[in-house]
């Protein structure tokens, strides 16, 4: 047929419009996320993990690793980043999501142990608004000094630091990523248990705090091991102690603070939670899938590159752990006097 013959055919605008609408709706259905998930997910629906922090950080990276690790059992899992207000915005979205197992999210030490005492009001209840699934990760923190400062003051151990601080009151200071941050609270716990004083200098984030330490503006800080490790290896920072209850496999020659100050333990952790009303059988299914992924050799290998330790446990164990952390940080936050609002 010639092309001019096509345009000479009878033309019905109503039929043409209806046909276009049908084609558009058909393509939209084919290209929609739920349609693309068909065949990948047992239920034919996409599951999402809400990460209450920006993309690219350790929490986001591990969540994406887990999303990939459970796809054979749970199907398509996407990551939705909802940062803001110290994690409160994203966590509130988890609490208020439909309790159908299709929306879960990250609970972290900040959102479920520190923020309830740091903020006068929260849009969620850390104890009652969530169904624990499993802890995911534990990351050691480490007490580090500027290496040059440590040499100048002849400080080679945690005991040396405490001895110097007691002999030279008000001469030491330490940095943190801000009032109420994990580094700030670790510093306050350390001062209280060691019976020393060091001036707290808050910075606007962990990176500025570390730069201040590297440049010698401050004497020490409590940093995330993953962040500090490269400068420890380069000899720019001196690691005096890790804050986990026992020594870290990543720094086996560095003692734990608890070896000098009995009972001292503070580290960074996060895990998975669902909305509180999620049925128990759904929580159990999610737990089984994520525990299997966390226990795999692949997860251990990939997490080790972040200097993070996978932690797989039951919903009851994770729930009890979060409650104990909430109790611990109540004392620490109140003693520090830190408030955000």
**pLDDT one-digit tens code per residue, 215-240:** 999 999 999 888 899 999 999 999 99
**Is there a single domain that holds both residue 279 and residue 299?**
yes
DSSP state letter for 216: T
pLDDT for 5 beyond 50: no
pLDDT in tens, 268-304: 999 999 999 999 999 999 999 999 999 999 998 989 8
Average pLDDT over residues 108-117: 95
203 CB-contact burial (10 Å; exposed 0-12 / middle 13-18 / buried 19+): buried
**Is there a single domain that holds both residue 208 and residue 195?**
yes
DSSP state letter for 304: H
Q: Is residue 21 part of a domain?
A: no
The last residue of one of the domains, among 259, 288, 312, is 259
The last residue of one of the domains, among 218, 234, 259, is 259
pLDDT for 253 beyond 70: yes
Residue corresponding to tokens 């809400």: 50
pTM, whole model, 2 decimals? 0.81
Strand runs (DSSP E) across 46-113, as ranges?
Answer: 47-51, 77-81, 103-108
**Around 188, how many Cα atoms within 13 Å sit in the side-chain half-sphere?**
23
Assess contact for 82 and 103: CB atoms under 8 A. Answer: no
Of the candidates 155, 271, 162, 177, the one whose C-alpha atom is nearest the C-alpha of residue 223 is 177
Length of the chain: 341
**Is there a single domain that holds both residue 290 and residue 239?**
no
Q: How many independent structural domains does the chain possess?
A: 2
Q: Which domain holds residue 310?
A: 46-138+269-336
Least confident residue range of 173-177, 209-213, 226-230, 293-297: 226-230
Q: Is residue 286 part of a domain?
A: yes
Mean of pLDDT over the chain: 87
Binned at pLDDT 50, 70 and 90, residue 210 comes out as very high
**Is there a single domain that holds both residue 254 and residue 183?**
yes
């Amino acid at each position: 047929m010639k092309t001019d013959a096509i345009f000479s055919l009878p033309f019905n605008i109503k039929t043409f419009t209806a046909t276009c609408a049908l084609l558009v709706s058909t393509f939209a259905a084919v290209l929609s996320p739920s349609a693309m998930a068909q065949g990948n997910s047992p239920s034919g629906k996409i599951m999402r993990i809400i990460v209450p922090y920006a993309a690219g950080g350790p929490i986001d990276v591990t969540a994406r690793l887990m999303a990939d690790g459970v796809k054979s059992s749970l199907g398509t899992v996407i990551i939705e980043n909802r940062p803001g207000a110290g994690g409160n915005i994203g966590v509130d979205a988890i609490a208020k999501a439909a309790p159908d197992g299709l929306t879960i999210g990250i609970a972290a030490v900040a959102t479920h142990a520190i923020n309830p005492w740091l903020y006068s009001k929260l849009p969620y209840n850390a104890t009652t608004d969530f169904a624990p699934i499993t802890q995911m990760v534990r990351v050691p923190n480490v007490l580090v000094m500027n290496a040059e400062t440590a040499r100048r003051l002849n400080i080679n151990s945690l005991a040396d630091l405490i001895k110097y601080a007691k002999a030279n009151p008000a001469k030491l200071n330490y940095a943190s990523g801000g009032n109420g941050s994990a580094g700030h609270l670790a510093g306050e716990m350390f001062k209280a248990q060691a019976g020393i004083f060091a001036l707290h200098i808050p910075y606007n984030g962990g990176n500025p705090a570390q730069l201040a330490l590297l440049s010698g503006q401050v004497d020490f800080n409590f940093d995330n091991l993953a962040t500090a490790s490269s400068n420890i290896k380069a000899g720019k920072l001196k690691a005096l102690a890790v804050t986990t209850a026992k020594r870290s496999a990543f720094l086996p020659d560095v003692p734990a603070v608890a070896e000098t100050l009995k009972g001292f333990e503070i580290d960074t952790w996060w895990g998975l939670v669902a909305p509180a009303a999620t049925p128990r059988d759904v929580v159990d299914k999610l737990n089984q899938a994520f525990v299997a992924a966390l226990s795999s050799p692949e997860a251990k290998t990939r997490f080790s590159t972040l200097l993070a330790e996978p932690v797989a446990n039951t919903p009851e164990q994770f729930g009890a752990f979060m409650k104990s952390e909430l109790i611990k940080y109540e004392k620490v936050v109140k003693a520090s006097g830190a408030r955000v609002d």
